[in-house]
Structure 1
Amino acid sequence: MISTIHPSDNEGMSRVRALLEKEGIRMDVNIDYTCAVFDESHQIIATGSCYANTLRCLAVDDEHQRQGLMHKVLTHLMSVQEERGNSSVFLYTKGSTAPFFCSLGFYEIARVSDTIVFLENQQHGFSDYLKNLQEETGDRHGMSAAIILNANPFTYGHLYLVEQAAAENELLHLFVVSEDVSFFPYDVRERLVREGTAHLKNIVYHATGPYMISQATFPSYFQKDEDSSIRSHAQLDIAVFSRIAQVLSITRRYVGEERASHVTSLYNDTMMHNLPLSGIECRIIRRKETEGAPISASTVRHAIQTGNMDILPALVPPTTLSYLQSEESAPIRRNLMEAANVIHY
């Protein structure tokens, strides 16, 4: 029998965790639904989880392999995704198990050798996304670069990076992370990016869609440690981005220098080494500073949290400042003031 394991079921979750560990998998920190298959003795012999429209933490006890249990778990999780209204579903797995999931209707988007394979259930999902990027670009050509921004929210630091890239290239593809795991929702972040860069006429704006994910939701459950997870995420990002760059003729990617965050620093180092292997130059731009400190979105969020709104004019463009001072932003400001931690990368 297959059952839902609720987060409040400490014993059930502990048994799920034990099965995962037995099969060499860590419980992922980002999970919003878990199920398990029980045998006649009420022992968990298979499990799987969801986070948003992704499947993760899939495992079958090695003593019960080849009994169709993974197919049962996958069918159940896909019905959960259907109930959520998700027609596009994504899955991360090891290279050794990718053929199995491909046989069940998943298609490979990108891989990092045999470490991690990124799959989706739509055969033409990624190719349709690439076509959409081409349509958004139209007939604009020239030396092309790219920046991927979360902009949580858009700051003078982001603006400085964008202006540098726009000045050094004929065309700049500016991707805004559309994954909603930030304090500021996508529609707000995207609007503030557009408003803050409206004076630059050689920008094409894109949403990242579901193909470029954040470190916050990257599945780390089959990575041996945090650094391995960061490197794998960067390598998968590069594998996906390289296909996008090929379609849009992008030859440069710009990122901001990071001295305070180990995560971002390791990510940038991986890109510096790997992007040139795909014919893409990686340009790391020194961060814009104010009063000797780098301007960052974390600093802005902390200022809002602590009620130090007077420093915002030095940190954000007028368009962002106007939004932060508006009644529209009041719910977000309240969330920031009540949050336990707003300093993250």
Structure 2
Amino acid sequence: MNNFKMYYIDLNSSFETKRVTEFLKRFDLEYNLVDATLVIKDEKQKIIATCSKLNNVIKCIAVCKDYINQNFLNKLVTEISKLIYLEKQDEIFVFTKPENKFIFEGVGFDNIFVNDKIAFLTNKINNYKKYKTYIQNLLTGNDIAILLMNCNPLTKGHGFLIEYASKKYQQVYIIPVKEDVSLFTYEERKQMLSLFVKNFTNVALLKGSDYLISKATFPTYFLNEEDKIVIANSEVDANVFVNLFENTKSKITRVVGSEPNSRTTNLYNNVMNTVLEKNNIGFEQVERYTINNNVVSASTVRKNIYENKEWESLVPQTTIEIIKKVDIKKRMTEKNVYKNN
């Protein structure tokens, strides 16, 4: 490395990020959704290798073909992994091109999902296997509905969907989104669900997972991005869902609410429908619950709380009880997420 320099670029520098963007275009890669970028430059200050990360996901990886045998990729991955571990993450994921996956397999990563466009790997495959075993060991019943819910907070709309599924399907399992980037914490959202479903005899709450709707598998769930990026992320998340529920003896149906007001989630639902159909898993989209012809959404509840407007009629009593234990206005100011997530 004597004639080469490896360093983290300043993501606030348009000059630096433009150079990385242009470099990655040569490899047909898009530079987006990152919180750190590491580059290697030659003696002429030309970028010859780079990789980035978003939370605990390594992505945007490229090395000039003239330097492919210089072990630069290993150096980049080792260095950026140190940063991920410093941020208290205990598992690292990789998004890369399928032709690159063997490189990561050689340094301790295993495939979760690979298609002709993308490879998604982890360095803790046993965590994934344990979660899959946990899911499949708990499933009972012949006709099962699976609901993935963020519930930020749980509204009467979520309640309507749960009640609908409980009446139509023999058994209902709810998986809360585990990613803690919402206004309400994972534990608070899980408690909202637990309290709401306690009187349902055929509804059970499962543990959330880093493998379903997280910033690893589906970062654009939490952001607004270009359609093609949303679709690519959705395909990964949908196929991970298929893998987790494959080979079960029960009939599985993914149940979701329609999304008239969310372009991102509507795209996600369309991709999910296509992928599940190809893999013999059911998909049902239920018309959203409305009050006075207005869709009841968690974003409306958050907005009304922030603006001191009426919100309690939009949520069940169990949700009110939990929200009133939180200094919600202070949290909204600190986290600045009342409009998103």
Length-normalised TM-score, structure 2:
0.88
Determine the C-alpha separation between the residues in 2 that align with 1:98 and 1:50.
Answer: 16
Superposed counterparts of 1:1-345, under 5 Å: 1-29=5-33, 31-111=34-114, 113-134=115-136, 137=138, 140-214=140-214, 218=218, 226-246=226-246, 249-308=250-309, 310=310, 312-335=311-334, 342=339, 344=340
Deviation digits for residues 48-103 of structure 1 (CA, Å, limit 9, x no counterpart):
11221111111223443332211211111122223333331101112222222222
Q: Deviations over 1:85-135 (max 9, x none)?
A: 333110111222222222222111113x21122110123221111122345
* CA RMSD between the two structures: 2.4
Contact 2:142 2:251 in 1 (8 A): no
Q: Which runs of 5+ in 1 are unaligned?
A: none
Q: Distance in 1 between matches of 2:239 and 2:270?
A: 15
Counterpart amino acid of 2:197?
T
In structure 2, C-alpha distance between the alignment counterparts of 1:84 and 1:227, rounded to whole Å = 30
What CA distance in whole angstroms lies between the structure 1 residues aligned with 2:136 and 2:217? 27
1:295-326 CA distance string (max 9 Å, x none): 11111111122221x2x122111111223333
Q: Deviations over 1:250-302 (max 9, x none)?
A: 51110001222222222222222331221111111111100111111111111
Aligned to 2:184, what secondary structure does the other structure show? coil
Post-superposition CA distance 1:158-215 (Å, at most 9, x none): 1111111112122111000101222222111111111122221222222331111347
Say if 1:23 and 1:61, in contact at 8 Å, map to a contact too.
Answer: no
Partner of 1:302: helix, strand, or coil?
helix
Cα distance 1:217–1:6, how it changes in 2: closer, same or farther (>3 A)?
A: farther
Indicate conservation of the 8 Å contact 1:215/1:230, yes or no: no
Contact 1:23 1:62 (C-alpha < 8 Å) held by counterparts? no
Q: Report the residue type matching 1:283 in the other structure.
A: E
1:217 positional shift: 7.2
Q: Which moved more, 1:166-175 or 1:282-291?
A: 166-175
SS at match of 1:307: coil
User: Do the aligned partners of residues 246 and 313 (structure 1) sit closer, same or farther apart at CA in structure 2, a change above 3 Å counting?
Assistant: same
Q: What stretches of structure 1 move > 6 A for 4+ residues in a row?
A: none
Instruction: Give the direction of change, closer, same or farther, for the CA distance of 1:321–1:123 in structure 2 (3 Å limit).
Output: closer
Aligned residues: 332
Secondary structure (helix, strand or coil) at the match of 2:99 reads coil
Q: Judging changes above 3 Å, is the alpha-carbon distance between structure 1 residues 227 and 3 closer, same or farther for their aligned structure 2 residues?
A: same
Distance 1:158 1:171 in 2: 17
Amino acid at match of 1:114: D
Cα 1:219–1:265 shift into 2, 3 Å: closer
Quote how far apart the aligned CAs of 1:156 are.
Answer: 0.5
Matched-pair contact (CA < 8 Å) for 1:153–1:184:
yes
SS at match of 2:125: coil
State whether residues 148 and 175 of structure 2, in contact with CA within 8 Å, keep that contact through their aligned partners in structure 1.
yes
Letter in 1 for 2:210: P
1:10 is displaced (CA, Å) by: 4.4
Query: AA paired with 1:322?
Result: E
8 Å CA contact 1:35–1:49 kept in 2: the answer is yes
Q: 1:254 to 1:226 in 2, by over 3 A?
A: same
- Structure 1 residue identity aligned to 2:218: F
Shift of 1:154: 0.7
Give the letter aligned to residue 129 of structure 2.
S
Structure 2 residue identity aligned to 1:287: R
The SS at the match of 1:19 is helix
Distance 1:195 1:298, change over 3 A: same
